[in-house]
Amino acid sequence: AQSVTQLDSQVPVFEEAPVELRCNYSSSVSVYLFWYVQYPNQGLQLLLKYLSGSTLVKGINGFEAEFNKSQTSFHLRKPSVHISDTAEYFCAVAAGNKLTFGGGTRVLVKP
């Protein structure tokens, strides 16, 4: 069975500051990795995904994530956040026929 742990439930950050959201997973088979974002009162949408190839993945809205197989991590980063980045972020792992989401990290961007 696989599991996904998002180490921070909430991350407050000032506008134009960098942010990093941490995600660790466990799985006995090879995985695909994803980050989804949920803006207030909306469903989730895909930010970025790692399927294979380069371990540094770039997504929408200036976000990027790095897959580290030895540390089983897939941390999400943005060098300079905007007020509009206030949202909840979910890390997810697909292995075999199962997709598992982490508990989510709420990012609150302050002016």
Partner 1 sequence: KAGVTQTPRYLIKTRGQQVTLSCSPISGHRSVSWYQQTPGQGLQFLFEYFSETQRNKGNFPGRFSGRQFSNSRSEMNVSTLELGDSALYLCASSLSPPGQGFTGELFFGEGSRLTVL
Other C-beta atoms closer than 10 Å to the C-beta of 66 total 15
Decide if residue 25 touches partner 1 (CB under 8 A): no
Radius of gyration over every alpha carbon of the chain, rounded to an integer in angstroms? 13
Smallest distance from partner 1 to CB 90, Å: 6
- Pick from 55, 103, 108, 110: which binds partner 1 (CB under 8 A)? 103
Q: Which residues in this chain contact partner 1 in the complex, by CB under 8 A?
A: 32, 34, 36, 41-46, 49, 51, 90, 92, 94-101, 103-104
